[in-house]
Structure 1
Amino acid sequence: MSVSTHDRSLPAKAMASFRLPSAFWLIAPSILFLALFFVFPLLKLVAISLPDGSTEYYHQIFTTPVFLRVIGETFRVSLIVTVVTVAVAYPYAYAMAHGGRAVLLVLTVALLIPFWVSLLLRSFSWIVLLQNTGLINNFLIATGLIERPIRLIRTPLGVIIGMVHILLPYAVLPLYTVMKKIDLRLMEASSICGASWLKGFARIYFPLSLPGVMASAILAFTLALGFYITPALLGSPRDMMIAQMIAGQFTEQLNFGLGAALAVVLMVLTAVAFGLFGAARTALQKRDRRKGEA
């Protein structure tokens, strides 16, 4: 009898000794919020895309040339936008990180002002600027660079310009965070050793800023994949991106299953791209670590 009582008391003692860490109760509201408003809707979206367990919508997506073309166009435009955004953000962040206080203040204000204006208004402003009678074409004609207006709106170029403008603040901030920590005395040391500024920048400064470049590229690329408003306003139907097609399936075609499947495909492709960027970043960090040990 004593052995049986002892055996029954073991689970009770184990339950009494098991206590959730106090930090758990601090993050419990966030976990609950994410579960209700993020995880559950995602699972519901996946369920809608698989009616009765059928994968017909996914088969339709990957066997229809129109869907494959839109997916390819989305990735092509997103890659171009990412490269251009990081290329523009790099010198901007460099000036913020190593300029004087006045330069930092002006550039920071200029960077934050777009956040105070809605994305829709910023996209509409590019319609005014890029149209045939807009400010850009009028300026080019007035300076004699062109004789007739250039078609900028309803083209891939117009979409890229609008997307780069919107993504620029998101690309600058990670770069600035990394560049601010780089000691410029390393560049001075390289010049003392006889290296030119360009060689010192390529061999010292740029490799040290690569974590910021990777973070900036990851953020810009993942955001660009899901753009909807800017391509819809500045692009043409031939330049449709996957987010526009998803919206069309839900609002115009009323094909919720196919729209949900397209959304799931977009999320999976975004996760794959994010993983590839992360793997590249990890490989660069390992390479730098090996160089440091050597």
Structure 2
Amino acid sequence: MNVSAQDGGAPASARAPWSLPVPSAFWLIAPAVLFLALFFAFPLLKLVAISLPGGSLEYYEQIFTTPVFLRVIGETFRVSLIVTFVTIAVAYPYAYAMAHGGRTVLLLLTVALLIPFWVSLLLRSFSWIVLLQNSGLINDFLIAMGLIEKPVRLIRTPFGVMIGMVHILLPYAVLPLYTVMKKIDLRLMEASSICGASWLKGFMRIYFPLSLPGVAASAILAFTLALGFYITPALLGSPRDMMIAQMIAGQFNEQLNFGLGAALAVVLMVLTAVAFGLFGAARAALQSRGRAKGGV
């Protein structure tokens, strides 16, 4: 028996020519997409809306025309850059020892790295207060050794903030470096020495370039996290050395100026995105330069 199109027997393509087939993989990622939309994208859009009351840019104008806001933003990036460089400088030899030491060395260094990582951020910051204060262990040790006569001011200074931040960021920098270094074959260094290169020259020409992806990943991660630090600068620093996360919290919690706080948060996100872009551009330039040298 033939069924006419009016009776609903037409093919699906004829019934709904405008419909698009939905890939089966879509239903696998749909929960994640919905989660990100509800708990990430929507709050960000809401934050932007709060920073633009009635479409006005008054809060952004206030930020970029007020010296105190510009000083805090500049101090945040200055401290974050210094902390990133120091963290990478400490993490690089640490990761090298983990990657190329024996199993005992790897176990000891991993335990020493991860045990503080499992401790609360607040507790780690408080521990630095105990160490850095005028009557703390570091000043007591220096006085006992006769290196200083009176306590050195280590806390409530940018130096103290940087020490605490480097300590907290160290695991985030070591682990990406270790992952990359573990894959580097040390026989390449042996081959360079056979060809007459010193260890330092072989390291700079062979090993270090191969480890650059780990350096880049560690630097991006450390710098991004450093930009948003709040607890450590609040405990170890002074109001004069305030970072932008502290100012955002102050606008929300103390001043109750939600529009200005939201605008500061948006500025921080935009500047972080710009920093990501600069990191990516620098990495692409280095890769293209390396390919050009390889072609030559």
Q: 1:29 aligns with which of 23, 28, 31?
A: 31
Deviations 1:114-147 (A, max 9, x none): 2221000000000000001101111111111111
Q: Percent identical across equivalent pairs?
A: 87
Aligned residue for 2:16, secondary structure, equals helix
Structure 1 segments unaligned to the other structure (5+ residues):
1-5
Q: 1:238 aligns with which of 224, 234, 240?
A: 240
Deviations 1:64-96 (A, max 9, x none): 000000000000000000000000000000001
* 1:190–1:240 distance in 2 versus 1, CA, 3 Å: same
**8 Å CA contact retained: 2:83, 2:226:** yes
**8 Å CA contact retained: 2:117, 2:168:** no
Name the amino acid aligned to 2:142.
Answer: L
Q: Which residue of 1 aligns with 2:226?
A: 224
**1:189 is aligned to 2:191:** yes
Aligned length: 291
Q: Which residue of 2 aligns with 1:3?
A: none
Counterpart CA distance in 2 for 1:228 and 1:155 is: 15
Q: Which residue of 1 aligns with 2:134?
A: 132
**1:203 is aligned to 2:208:** no
Q: 2:264 aligns with which of 262, 265, 287?
A: 262
Q: Which residue of 2 aligns with 1:20?
A: 22
Counterpart CA distance in 2 for 1:282 and 1:10 is: 49
Q: Which residue of 2 aligns with 1:167?
A: 169
Aligned residue for 1:270, secondary structure, equals helix
* Bigger mean CA offset, 62-71 vs 133-142: 133-142
Q: 1:66 aligns with which of 65, 68, 72?
A: 68
Deviations 1:152-178 (A, max 9, x none): 000000000000000000000111111
Name the amino acid aligned to 2:16.
Answer: A
* 1:52–1:113 distance in 2 versus 1, CA, 3 Å: same
Deviations 1:17-73 (A, max 9, x none): x32222221111111111000000000000000000000000000000000000000
TM superposition score normalised by structure 1: 0.95
Counterpart CA distance in 2 for 1:172 and 1:131 is: 28
Cα RMSD for the two superposed structures: 2.0
Counterpart CA distance in 2 for 1:273 and 1:10 is: 52
* 1:72–1:10 distance in 2 versus 1, CA, 3 Å: same
Displacement, 1:98? 0.5
Q: 1:180 aligns with which of 182, 197, 211?
A: 182
Counterpart CA distance in 1 for 2:108 and 2:257 is: 49
Counterpart CA distance in 1 for 2:247 and 2:85 is: 24
Name the amino acid aligned to 2:60.
Answer: Y
Deviations 1:220-248 (A, max 9, x none): 00000000000000000010000000000
Displacement, 1:283? 1.4
Task: Point out 4+ residue stretches in structure 1 off by more than 4 angstroms.
Answer: 8-11
Q: Which residue of 2 aligns with 1:247?
A: 249
Counterpart CA distance in 2 for 1:73 and 1:204 is: 36
**8 Å CA contact retained: 2:63, 2:69:** yes
Displacement, 1:286? 1.7
